[in-house]
Amino acid sequence: MNRFSFRKDASRPGAPPRISRRGALLLGAQAAVMGALFWRLKALQIDSADEYLLMAEENRINVRLLPPARGEIFDRKGRPLALNRQNYRVVLVREQAGDVEAVLDELARLIDIPPHQRSRALREIRSKSAFVPVTVAENLDWETFARVNANAPALPGVTPEVGLSRHYPEGEKLGHVLGYVARFAENDKDREDADDPLFQIPDFHIGKNGVERALEPVLRGSAGASRIEVNAVGRVIREIDRKPGAPGADIGLTIDLDLQRYALRRMEGESAASVVMEIESGDILALASTPGFDPNKFVTGISQTEWSALLEDEYRPLANKAVSGQYPPGSTFKMIVALAALEAGVAGPGESVFCNGGYKLGDRIFHCWKRGGHGHVRLKEAIKSSCDVYFYEMARRVGVDRISEMAVRFGLGPAPALEMTAVRDGIAPTRAWKLARHGESWQLGDTLNVGIGQGYVLSSPLQLAVMTARLGGDGRMVQPRLVRTMAGQPAPAPEPEPLGVSAAHLRLVREGMFAVSSEPGGTAWRSRIADEAMLMAGKTGTSQVRRITMAERARGVTRNEDLPWNRRDHALFVAFAPWEQPRYAIATVVEHGGGGSRAAAPIARDIMMRALYGGEPPLRAYPPEERREIEERREQERLTPDDAAETPRNRA
């Protein structure tokens, strides 16, 4: 008999059998097990149903990011500088193509596939899964795209697609300013925003330099999402739904496209840079560096031949000289030295310094550019004739630290904040700077060199334009500005602080600059503006690249023009206009151009007149001796308007 069977109660005839203690324990244990089982089933099927449903769904549904439309860029008048246009492209899927090389050979009969582009496509095809499409060609014209569509049935694995691609309608004219976009690459993984999921999208393009890089987070936008059904190996079956992303914000720059075009045309054939600023607002109207590069070539991938040509060009077309060039400012720095001396009280407007052609320091002679000397000169005449001896003396009196402080106040030294890459600091040296940088004590000879803008002092054309705008302004530290609007709203502009310089002292320096450009005998008199309503105040400068050695002089090399091009001095010119109510400031540097009055001043004057008149200036604005030449040049340009961009560089 079962040991856990029911037993009858002998004292109560007819009573139902009783459960033994052991039987009760067994039933209790069974009930507990069944309860736990039911509780677990409830947790799995009811409480966690959504979680497990999602896990099951993820086995067959993938979420893929959709790239947003990149924000577009415009000039101050709303003219397009960087656009998104339809990109007719051809993609290839390896598992559908079979013999990839054979398919590419057949495709090459219909479209041009350069060797470097074919090599890149093959690398991607081999490195990615067989079902992932790889771009073989893009930015095709409509006729070519239609030809591929017509022949697609005979091209296994080839699919024509329409997407968006970045396009720069002005090409080289704004390559340095805008920069370019290109595929996210291995060397981009150290960027601060490299963890953005968008960068995982195949062929996703990001800003590499210029405004495109500096404003990448604003221009990029945010990703959308597409839910797609895939099979066990990850191949797409169908799209279930999609949510579009938010497009990037449109940007309006302060650049005036007409002025930018003219500045580049006027500097054609030179290795040069010009920056034009609006004095009241700080808006940069032109930021031109020549020669340039076409950013469109970088969007799809530049060939090795073209890349090598850019790298090997001695005119450095990839360098944005306007913001990254570092040049001794030469005599354009003399206004800073004059203001430092005036503010320190070690010089007066009526005080004269005698120039006999040299300044003796110990057993060394620091020469003036005019070997015979200028005689007795006061401040205005010293700026007008650019007398070196006068500024040697002023620098000695005031000292380098106070000169440096004044230079920084006027925008030299630290780089200004600007929404683009490659903006470099200049150098406004001090005693402490030399000790920290070179481990050497400052010498009086160093101070004399700084007094004429040579030695350790360096600046970019952008910084010189800021300096000139502050010299011509109303005593405010005007800040350069490149972005005018963002997402249709005005970009914030900080209120400029006061310069903290005596208005009377500023007036004295301005008068000297006016004499340079608008009085006979000034170093830029030949490049003056003749219109009385538009008179210009400026300053020429020549920065020494290297001294002519005694051995070279013995061989007859006595002039800058006798040296090879890359050893000649740099030419500089800065100016503001109109004289009475300044509106614009300009700085122009011509690399290895020689004298500032000969090479830089004529270019800067012509660009300035375009800004002042808003177009082609009247002939009366030019000096009488130039008008016939200007008229003949304009006639030639009207006859051959397309030839100007093909002018060969003069590297004699």
> Rounded CA gap, 627 and 618, in Å?
10
DSSP assignment letter at 500: -
**pLDDT category of residue 648 using cuts at 50, 70 and 90:** very low
Q: How far apart are the first and last CA of the chain?
A: 123
Q: How many CB atoms lie within 10 A of CB 516?
A: 30
Query: Residue 199 has what pLDDT?
Result: 74
Domain with CATH 3.40.710.10 in the chain: 257-646
Query: Residue 281 has what pLDDT?
Result: 94
- Select the more confidently predicted residue: 24 or 11: 24
Catalytic center residues: 331
> Rounded CA gap, 295 and 308, in Å?
15
Query: Residue 644 has what pLDDT?
Result: 43
Q: Determine whether 428 is exposed, middle or buried from the number of CB atoms within 10 Å of its CB (0-12, 13-18, 19+).
A: buried
Query: Residue 205 has what pLDDT?
Result: 86
Write down the residue that tokens 């604005």 correspond to: 621
> Rounded CA gap, 224 and 298, in Å?
26
φ, ψ of residue 562 in degrees (nearest 5): -80, -10
HEC string for 115-135: HHHHHHHHHHHHHCCCCCCEE
Query: Residue 628 has what pLDDT?
Result: 93
Query: Residue 533 has what pLDDT?
Result: 95
Whole-number percent of the chain with pLDDT over 90: 60
Domain with CATH 3.90.1310.10 in the chain: 65-253
- Give the helix/strand (H/E) hosting 576: strand 570-577
On the question of pLDDT at 168 being above 50, the answer is yes
Query: Residue 215 has what pLDDT?
Result: 96
> Rounded CA gap, 293 and 241, in Å?
42
The dotted CATH code for 65-253 is 3.90.1310.10
Mean pLDDT of all residues belonging to the chain: 87
Query: Residue 51 has what pLDDT?
Result: 57
> Rounded CA gap, 285 and 258, in Å?
9
**What single letter denotes the amino acid at residue 210?**
G
Greatest mean pLDDT among 34-38, 99-103, 109-113, 391-395 lies in 391-395
Write down the residue that tokens 């009366």 correspond to: 620
> Rounded CA gap, 272 and 315, in Å?
9
- Residue 74 token pair: 């415009």
On the question of pLDDT at 646 being above 50, the answer is no
Tell me the CATH architecture of domain 257-646: 3-Layer(aba) Sandwich (3.40)
> Rounded CA gap, 372 and 355, in Å?
9
**pLDDT category of residue 650 using cuts at 50, 70 and 90:** very low
- Give the helix/strand (H/E) hosting 376: strand 375-377
**pLDDT category of residue 95 using cuts at 50, 70 and 90:** confident
Residue range 532-557, pLDDT digits in tens: 999 999 999 998 886 655 565 556 55
Write down the residue that tokens 């481990």 correspond to: 439
Query: Residue 554 has what pLDDT?
Result: 58
DSSP assignment letter at 280: T
Residue range 298-307, pLDDT digits in tens: 987 788 889 9
For residue 12, is it left (φ>0), alpha (ψ between -120 and 50) or beta? beta
Write down the residue that tokens 């330099």 correspond to: 209
**pLDDT category of residue 183 using cuts at 50, 70 and 90:** confident
Q: With contact defined as beta carbons under 8 Å apart, do 163 and 85 qualify?
A: no
Query: Residue 18 has what pLDDT?
Result: 64
β partners of residue 278: 584
Residue range 566-608, pLDDT digits in tens: 888 999 999 999 999 999 999 999 999 988 999 999 999 999 9
CA neighbor of 506 nearest in space, from 280, 282, 340, 388: 340
- Give the helix/strand (H/E) hosting 176: helix 175-178
Residue range 15-61, pLDDT digits in tens: 566 667 777 777 777 777 887 787 777 776 676 666 555 555 555 66
Whole-number percent of the chain with pLDDT over 70: 87
Contacts of 542 (CB under 8 A, 6+ apart): 330, 331, 369, 569, 570, 571, 572, 594, 595, 596
3-state helix, strand, coil in the chain (%, to 5): 40, 20, 40
Which segments of 96-235 are extended strands (E)? 134-140, 158-167, 181-183, 205-207, 224-230
Query: Residue 492 has what pLDDT?
Result: 86
On the question of pLDDT at 649 being above 60, the answer is no
- Residues shown for the chain: 652
β partners of residue 158: 92
For residue 174, is it left (φ>0), alpha (ψ between -120 and 50) or beta? alpha
Range from 234-243, 440-449, 629-638 carrying the lowest mean pLDDT: 234-243
- Residue 340 token pair: 């430092």
On the question of pLDDT at 369 being above 80, the answer is yes
**pLDDT category of residue 641 using cuts at 50, 70 and 90:** low
Alpha helices in 267-378 (DSSP H): 296-300, 304-312, 321-324, 334-344
Query: Residue 159 has what pLDDT?
Result: 83
On the question of pLDDT at 181 being above 90, the answer is yes
Which segments of 244-352 are extended strands (E)? 251-253, 272-278, 284-290
